[in-house]
A and B are shown apart, each in its own frame.
Chain A
């Protein structure tokens, strides 16, 4: 089961925004996740919104392709930072690859790694599934 549940431990900043959206596992999940992120981040700098949208699309694609479970996208915004968590009930390894230019696939997590300020994988405390999270500074000009 994936749900919009417990807050992350250890958050010290004041949350200005915290919202979560459950998305069914269908090929449309990345598009649904992108629309949710764009709506939730309305008014934030374009570079941040575009980057967050791209990274969420990559992570939702991985859920569809590998985890085969529903997903929950949680967005937390503090004064200077955005933290996004994509939870699924799958157990697979999350490791970026560095494919040769002749290989057509395998670049999703590489894009997450390159475009986020920080990212990581968090195993759920109940042992059911994992979250891939990433952070973006809201202040920085990204392009």
Chain B
């Protein structure tokens, strides 16, 4: 009989949070197809930084599949775009995280904070989506004109979600530390 490990519960909890953010966000109006804040990436980043890339990948996969089932886009073009974007973003995050591991030994000032990681992930996300859209969904050279505005939007939202991630991580660190809030400990 399969047993549920604490790690499974952790991933399920994070994934549920990410799905909720995803679904709420999908109801927001958007001026351009494909432009949205991507706040669920706050969850991905936090999981990556606290629990490693395996957990982050699991949470992301769950978010895409469950999120698409809830919004009714499972296996639709948007679902594949989300997969391509998430794959590219995770790859960028993995690269950034390994760069940080090496950089931490040399000079701490040149390591990426969550803001930098989120920015790179957001840009990679758009590039991954765009590559799929360009080669499979809309193979038209004119599509190239959509890329710069999408990249610009994702730069802004990437920085914003990075800052949000930093704030949440700081709050989590405070909540965990018994010396800061002794009254919370029972």
A and B assemble together: no
A positions within 8 Å CB-CB of B: none
